[in-house]
């Protein structure tokens, strides 16, 4: 089962290497890893997807907390969350194929971000299934190159239970009761 961890860390050199080494030492394969700055200066947010059972997920969470630069770990797998991924796909596109490809791009709510005489670059954001669907349709035209970001995740509703105030007291970070949220 794929488990998604949101890990808040101090934004310092070597933190990513220590986190990745922990997974390597424990013989877990990272399926997806994204890292970026947060709204809080000096704090980065990692979204790590790993294929493990519930026991392995609990062990990983405990081991992550042992790392010095880790501020907060959340396993959002069973939480109400929004997951997204970004992909850029370069596809062969002759002049006669362009209108067909652009129609497909529109259906998937993607966009063309670059055009050359022999190819087009398409940008798509969405769920992994949506990206896989577009890739499958574009295979007939000839996919020349592709890059994907990996999964990012954010809890639904108001501020995350602990994430938005990484390092804050648990009592201060409790989610609001009755919070409702809808995805678009």
Judge contact between 170 and 73, C-beta under 8 A: no
Alpha-carbon span 131 to 33, nearest angstrom? 17
- For residue 117, what is the DSSP state? S
Alpha-carbon span 147 to 150, nearest angstrom? 9
User: pLDDT tens digits for 57-84?
Assistant: 999 999 999 999 999 999 999 999 999 9
Judge contact between 38 and 159, C-beta under 8 A: no
Alpha-carbon span 49 to 68, nearest angstrom? 21
Cα distance from N-terminal residue to C-terminal residue, the chain: 26
The full set of domains in the chain, from first to last, is: 2-79 (3.30.70.260), 82-148 (3.30.70.1150)
CB atoms within 10 A of CB 81: 18
DSSP string, 68-80: TTEEEEEE-TTS-
Alpha-carbon span 110 to 139, nearest angstrom? 16
The pLDDT of residue 161: 52
pLDDT of residue 177 exceeding 60: no
Alpha-carbon span 118 to 135, nearest angstrom? 18
Question: Which tokens belong to 138?
Answer: 């574009």
User: pLDDT tens digits for 9-50?
Assistant: 999 999 999 999 999 999 999 999 999 999 999 999 999 999
Question: Which tokens belong to 29?
Answer: 């394969």
User: Which residues does 155 contact at the CB level (< 8 Å), separation at least 6?
Assistant: 74, 76, 79, 80, 81, 161, 163
The pLDDT of residue 115: 96
The pLDDT of residue 157: 87
**Mean of all residue pLDDT scores within the chain:** 88
């Amino acid at each position: 089962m794929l488990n998604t961890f949101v890990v808040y860390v101090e934004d310092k050199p070597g933190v990513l290497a220590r986190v990745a080494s922990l997974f390597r030492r424990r013989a877990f394969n990272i399926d997806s890893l994204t890292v970026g700055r947060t709204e809080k200066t000096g704090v980065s947010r990692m979204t790590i997807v790993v294929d493990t059972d519930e026991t392995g997920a609990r062990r990983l969470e405990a081991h992550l907390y042992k790392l010095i630069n880790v501020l907060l770990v959340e396993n959002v797998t069973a939480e109400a969350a929004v997951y997204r991924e970004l992909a850029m796909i370069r596809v062969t596109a002759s002049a006669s194929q362009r209108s067909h490809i652009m129609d497909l791009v529109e259906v998937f709510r993607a966009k063309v971000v670059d055009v050359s005489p022999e190819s087009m670059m398409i940008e798509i954001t969405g769920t992994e299934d949506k990206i896989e669907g577009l890739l499958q349709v574009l295979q007939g035209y000839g996919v020349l190159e592709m890059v994907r970001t990996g999964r990012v995740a954010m809890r639904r509703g108001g501020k995350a239970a602990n994430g938005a105030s990484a390092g804050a007291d648990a009592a201060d970070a409790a989610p609001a009761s009755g919070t409702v949220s809808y995805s678009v």
